[in-house]
Amino acid sequence: MPILRPGFALPFEELRDELDRVWTTLTAAPPVPGWGTRPAEGVFPAVVVRESDEAITVEAELPGLDADDVEITVAGDELLVKRSRPETCPVPPASGRTGDGDGDGDGEKQERVMWHRRERGTGAFERRIALPVVVDASRVEARLVDGVLTVTCPKAAECQPHKVAVRSV
Amino acid sequence: MVTQAQTTIPATEPQSEPTLTYQPNVDICDLGAEVLLVADIPGAHAAGIDVTFEDGVLALRAAVPPRILPGRSMRQEYGIGNYRRSFRLGDGFDASQISADYKKGVLTIHVPRLAAVRPRKVEVKTA
């Protein structure tokens, strides 16, 4: 007959703790739709979002844009990036399409443009990014280097983890 | 003559590269006197960009230094790595006059046509 030792139930307790941990993670995780997936077709710009204890960092690829070309708005737990992306070719958009090259009456300088490939999107864009926590809008910093936008959003004080001191009586 | 642009798979590329490699989005527009190739390569530095034109194939490569952001990943919609892409442009281009400039994450390559094959307007004289 086995002897019931004091530590017998330990493996089951560990298993229960592990299941509790998994369940808590699933139910308490911030709602971040589309985690780890590509954005839908036509969504611009694509983003990378990372979370540390102090801040949420959002990175977006915005090639061809100046800092003045990007408008960033932060409100609560939402980040909005918008503005417009310029055309590729230095010609009027109305004459930039294939097949309308006869520039009669539009002057000698108008060039005939034929597109072989158009993969880069142009024009107005707007992207709303749901942040997992409320951030301190007054301390948000953004920089645009080599077409890569990095927005650092410090978490609001009430959302930052803080250590609780335990007093011994 | 219309230049046919198409992607080519470089057969001689070494397979063991340190980071992932991506194909950049590209616009190609033919202005008659030259072909303009515009590629989005955000994150690249000018010193790490390599453009070659050989046997009618225009190839661009760009090394992108890794970007490390703090914390754990919440959303990852694109990967960070080097860029590589090549196009067959055909004959009639002046390889010695190809120029490229890089600004704000966009590489623009100007490939001028040889003077002999450039389109020109012929004046019609009346007798």
pLDDT string in tens for chain B (127-residue length)? 334 444 444 444 444 445 788 999 999 998 888 999 999 999 999 999 999 988 888 999 999 998 888 899 888 888 888 999 999 988 888 989 999 999 999 999 999 999 887 777 888 998 7
As a whole number of angstroms, the distance between CA A166 and CA B89 comes to 72
pTM for the structure as a whole: 0.71
The verdict on a CB contact (< 8 Å) between A111 and B105 is no
The verdict on a CB contact (< 8 Å) between B27 and A119 is yes
Window 38-97 of B: residues touching A by CB (8 A cutoff) are: 38, 40-45, 67, 69-78
3-class secondary structure, B79: coil
Contacts of B17 (CB under 8 A, 6+ apart): B82
What was the pLDDT predicted at B90?
81
3-class secondary structure, A69: helix
Residues of chain A with pLDDT under 70: 1-11, 24-42, 90-112
What was the pLDDT predicted at A5?
52
Residues A105-142: tens digit of each pLDDT: 444 444 568 888 888 888 888 999 999 889 999 999 99
What was the pLDDT predicted at B1?
36
As a whole number of angstroms, the distance between CA B28 and CA A128 comes to 30
As a whole number of angstroms, the distance between CA B124 and CA B127 comes to 10
The verdict on a CB contact (< 8 Å) between A115 and B30 is yes
What was the pLDDT predicted at A161?
77
* Number of CB pairs, chain A paired with chain B, less than 8 A apart: 132
What was the pLDDT predicted at A10?
65
Closest-CA residue of chain A to B46: A146
β-partners of residue A141 are A152
- A40 to chain B: which residues are within 8 Å by CB? none
Cβ pair B41, B114 in contact under 8 A: no
A30: how many CB neighbours lie within 10 A of its CB?
A: 12
Cβ pair B94, B113 in contact under 8 A: yes
3-class secondary structure, A84: strand
What was the pLDDT predicted at A160?
75
- Please name the member of B2, B42, B78 whose beta carbon is closest to the beta carbon of A147: B42
